[in-house]
Structure 1
Amino acid sequence: MKRNLLDKIENKQITVGVVGLGYVGLPLAVEKAKAGYKTIGFDVQAEKVDMVNKGQNYIGDVVDSDLSDLVEKGLLSATSDFSFMKDVDFIAICVPTPLDEYQQPDVSYLKASSQEIAKYLTKETMVVLESTTYPGTTEELIKPILENGSGLVCGEDFYLGFSPERVDPGNAIYKTKNTPKVVGAIGEDATEVIAAMYEAVLDGEVIKVSSPAIAEMEKILENTYRNVNIGLINELAMLSNKMGINLWEVIDAAKSKPYGFQAFYPGPGLGGHCIPLDPYYLSWKAREFGFHTSMIESSMMVNDRMPEYCTERASKILNRDRKALNGSRILVLGVAYKQDIEDFRESPAIRVIEELEKEGADVVYYDPFVPEYRENGVIKKGEADLTAELLSSADLVIVTTAHSNVDYAFVQQHSKAIFDTKNALKEIKLRENIELL
């Protein structure tokens, strides 16, 4: 099986299936197709399937012309019919792995996808999970579903592994194509073949590890590392405010050290699919072993509280002008979870808006990348333009995303008061109406 698959990879005779055509799956499908492998994208959302088949792009990290050219050449197509899975040789699972209402892993998408794959799984197929999850998922959850549903044996009839996605939306340097890839599979042959498939497509180094659990834990480490350090900085931001110290200046001074320090910055909370969620996966799994991840859980508590803390700070700023938060008009600048992208998944800015509205504030927002968003089934529309009238009408402007295409000098000029949670106005010299997080 190994030799046959390696030959098919080399001769571009592999048909690729990508399950889940979101921020991870669609860029991966495009890169597989660009490398010359016929690729089929699978998604339960008919809208995404239709857009892909029409060559219409909806992901910022995918080049529009790449997608349309690949569809036109017949190298890339999409479907909601999982029976086409019987025609593929390599399957990448890129479905969401959210948290449920109790902050525990919701693996329903993983289960549903694996069950569908199992119905049509054939011999000599490679299956790779890319969705971020807790250590043990590949072997404890996915493997039994595939074996029981297909009647095939992992390692003998098909190969199974884990290769964590490393997608940073909006990153101008590192995309799917050139980011190093970690691969851990069940058995040495599986690791070799799956790594060869990625090596044939990507420019980044492919790092082989000894098991799926190693690769799963590696991904959790990446994002927990950031969560913990951001939690530290957010806590120091709260302390520095009480002490009258500008933490942003402190960080700039500290990062002058050429070794032993990496700069992290405070903010209104954590956003995106990975950093706010992944530590919960690890802490949940740790309890199975009677272990509490105290440092991780502490950082999560700090980061989760930041939207409430920002609301408290906003109230204090208004109090200085003898205004109550209840009834005040607040303009929030930015609802994307990071600058210069349209992605608002888990955005702390949305949490800030919710907290402000709970206190009775009249909240409007402007985001040049996110004209509207849906939260809890409700669509909230942003302001069309950032005008002097809009700025001056607000009792307080809160900067929650530091988009680079916003004229912050204009913002400062026309705003009564500004609460800058991202240090977006750092170049502005006149700072009488600006307060930093």
Structure 2
Amino acid sequence: MYQQLINKETKLAVIGLGYVGLPIALAFARKIQVIGFDINPERIDLMKQGIDPSNELDAAAFENADIVFTNEPETLKHARFFIVAVPTPVDAFHVPDLSFLLSASATVGRALKKGDYVVFESTVYPGCTEEDCLPVIEKIAGLKNGADFKSGYSPERINPGDKTHTLSQIVKVVSGCDATALDEIAKVYKLVVTAGVHKAPSVKVAEAAKIIENTQRDLNIALMNELSLIFDKMGINTFDVLAAARTKWNFLNFQPGLVGGHCIDVDPYYLTHKAEQLGYNADVILAGRNINDRMAAQVAAKVVKHILKKRMNIADAAVLIKGATFKENISDIRNSKVANVVAALKEYSIAVHVEDPFASSGALEKAFGFGLTERVSDNYDAVIITVPHRQYLHLDEDYFCSITKEDALIADLKGIYRNKISKRSYFSL
């Protein structure tokens, strides 16, 4: 298979062209022939014009790319190596939603031929590839995994907004259904990953490796968030404590904050779901999730208490939230916990304005029911800075004084203005 791709005798197809799939497709398209498939025709039209709908890649990323963008499943029949990179979210009850993944598996099944390869990159619980996805492909294609076609799993490690740890610079974990599949899949990925590959001994090991990466981060952030709640009651600043603790060489550099996005606040639920199916309750992991999920309400409560102390009628209060994306310097609003802060404040009939230099007002309105404010006021009772966008880093106290009342609160969740605010009340996690 590797040699056929190199000789351009066949094509590689990427199913799902979002934050993960598009960078992978374009990277391969500089080496071999690629079919980029997505079910959204509007996104396909943009990519044909050299525009990344996710606003992660610039026009130069599309140059010299041997790729065909399509939403026509029939086109996939021209490929022999398939990479599935579709979303794996959870539902409102934190149960894994495999609908995108199973639909993509069915799409691959209708295009699969004898001798083809299919590799999954979507984050799942250990066993999902072999127990949930491959049976769909086998049934629709009428082919047997291992005997008629080869399969594998290679977890995505795309980090939105990160221009340093890009696809080529991160070691790629690969796995296969057998030794032949593992070797071929590894060779294919080496075409675009200069950092090299790590061959996992099984598909389940590769799946587990991915899911614990984000579970580990989630738990460490949960610890920082719980510490911030404790230190707040003690009247000491968490970031001051962390600055002191970091002087020890082996102290891990995690910080408190709102935990949103497509990975850290989602992936642990895939692991706990599978554990529950096996009769085990993942107490530590779920405790960390519970703490992180509560932080938006904790922030809102802190702001409300401050306003109640200063005002007679809280319904007359106004709050500005700076930052709507799930992390800094990106337009990605998926699972942004800022929406939870907005909802909690609005329960008290507080007027909430939201501004963000990266987010789309229309996307926010569609996802959460609120858009961006057109004009920042000059009499806010509180300002909440949720993420350290680069546009915020050089704001000074004069700026905050110009947009707030004298008794206002500056809630600086990431501590970027620590020791810089003296004329207004100040709070950080």
Residue 401 of structure 1 is matched in structure 2 by 387
Are the structure 2 counterparts of residues 89 and 300 from structure 1 closer, same or farther at C-alpha, using a change threshold of 3 Å?
same
Letter in 2 for 1:405: Q
Equivalent position to 1:296, from 271, 280, 285: 285
CA offset at residue 384 of structure 1? 4.3
After TM superposition, the structure 1 = structure 2 runs for residues 390-429 of structure 1, keeping only pairs within 5 Å, are 390-406=376-392, 407-409=394-396, 410-414=398-402, 415-416=404-405, 417=408, 418-426=410-418, 428=420
Q: Is the 8 A contact 2:304 2:345 kept in 1?
A: no
Distance 2:169 2:93 in 1: 37
Shift of 1:239: 0.6
Q: What is the Cα deviation at residue 84 of structure 1?
A: 1.4
TM-score, with normalisation over the residues of structure 1? 0.92
Q: What is the CA–CA distance in structure 2 between the aligned matches of 1:423 and 1:12, rounded to whole Å? A: 52
* Alignment partner, residue 249 of structure 1: 240
Pick the aligned partner of 1:434 from 411, 426, 429.
426
Per mean C-alpha deviation after superposition, the further-off stretch among 148-157 and 228-237 is 148-157
Report if the CA contact (8 A) 1:60-1:170 is conserved.
no
Deviation per CA, 1:24-46: give whole Å up to 9, x if none.
Answer: 01111111112x21111111111
The answer for unaligned runs of 5 or more in structure 2 is none
CA distance in 2, matches of 1:13, 1:434: 63
Match for residue 265 of structure 1?
255
Q: Is this contact kept in 2: 1:318–1:324, CA < 8 A?
A: no
Residue 307 of structure 1: CA displacement? 0.7
Contact preservation (8 Å) 1:45, 1:80: yes
For residues 31 and 184 of structure 1, what CA distance do their matches in structure 2 show? Answer: 20
- DSSP-derived class of the 2:134 partner: helix
Partners of 1:366 and 1:358 in 2: how far apart?
20
What letter matches 2:389 in structure 1?
H
| Cα deviation code 1:78-111 (max 9, x no counterpart) | 1111111111121111111111122100001111
User: SS where residue 380 of structure 1 aligns?
Assistant: coil
Which residue matches 1:118? 109
Q: TM-score, normalised by structure 2?
A: 0.94
Residue correspondences, number = 422
- Counterparts of 1:238 and 1:376 in 2: how far apart (Å)? 33
When residues 279 and 324 of structure 1 are mapped into structure 2, their CA distance, relative to the original with a 3 A threshold, is: farther
Report if aligned partners of 2:120, 2:152 keep a CA contact under 8 Å in 1: yes
The structure-2 alpha-carbon separation of the partners of 1:324 and 1:297, relative to structure 1 and needing over 3 Å to count, comes to farther
- 1:324 is displaced (CA, Å) by 4.9
1:53-202 to 2 correspondences below 5 Å: 53-70=48-65, 75-202=66-193
Specify the SS of the correspondent of 1:392.
Answer: coil
Give the Å deviation of 1:383.
2.8
Structure 1 residue 233, shift from structure 2 partner: 0.7
Q: Distance in 1 between matches of 2:77 and 2:326?
A: 38
Structure 1 pair 419–9 and aligned structure 2 pair: CA distance change class (3 A): same
Give the Cα–Cα distance (whole angstroms) in 2 for the partners of residues 111 and 291 of structure 1: 26
Deviation at 1:391, TM superposition (A): 4.8
Letter in 2 for 1:95: V
- For 2:284, give the aligned amino acid: M
Superposed displacement of residue 61, structure 1: 3.2
Unaligned runs of 5+ in 1: none
What is the alpha-carbon distance in structure 1 between the residues aligned to residue 172 and residue 147 of structure 2?
25
CA contact (8 A) 1:14 1:89 kept: yes
Match of 2:14 in 1: 18
Please report how far the alpha carbon of residue 299 of structure 1 lies from its aligned counterpart in structure 2 after TM superposition.
0.5
1:108-133 alpha-carbon deviations (Å, 9 max, x no partner) = 11111111111120122111111111
Given candidates 204, 217, 230, the residue that maps to 1:213 is: 204
CA gap of 1:375–1:434, structure 2 versus 1, over 3 A, is same
Provide the C-alpha distance between the structure 2 equivalents of 1:206 and 1:377, rounded to a whole number of angstroms: 37
CA deviation after TM superposition for structure 1 residue 434, in Å: 2.1
Q: Deviations over 1:43-102 (max 9, x none)?
A: 1111011111222222333231221543xxxx1121111111111121111111111122
- Number of the residue aligned with 1:281: 270
Higher mean C-alpha deviation, range 13-22 or range 274-283: 13-22
**How many Å separate the matches in 1 of 2:233 and 2:367?**
38
Q: 1 CA distance for matches of 2:55 and 2:303?
A: 33
The alpha-carbon deviation at position 377 of structure 1 amounts to 5.3
SS in 2 for 1:238: helix
How big is the shift at 1:374? 3.2
Q: State the Cα distance separating 1:322 from its structure 2 match.
A: 2.7
Deviation at 1:12, TM superposition (A): 4.6
Match of 1:7 among 3, 15, 19: 3
SS at match of 1:398: strand
Q: In 2, distance between residues paired with 1:96 and 1:18? A: 13
Are the aligned partners of 1:402 and 1:424 in contact in 2 as well (CA < 8 Å)?
A: yes
CA deviations on 1:266-291 (whole Å, 9 max, x unpaired) are 11x21110000011111110011110
Contact 2:6/2:32 (8 A) holds in 1: no
What RMSD over aligned residues (CA atoms) do the two structures have, in Å?
A: 1.7
* Contact preservation (8 Å) 1:333, 1:367: yes
In structure 2, the residue corresponding to 1:316 is in which secondary structure?
A: helix
- How far did 1:378 drift? 5.7
How far off its partner does 1:428 sit? 2.2
Distance in 2 (CA, whole Å) between partners of 1:307 and 1:199 is: 42
What SS is found at the alignment partner of 1:91?
Answer: strand
Instruction: Answer whether contact 2:5 2:12 (CA < 8 A) is retained.
Output: no
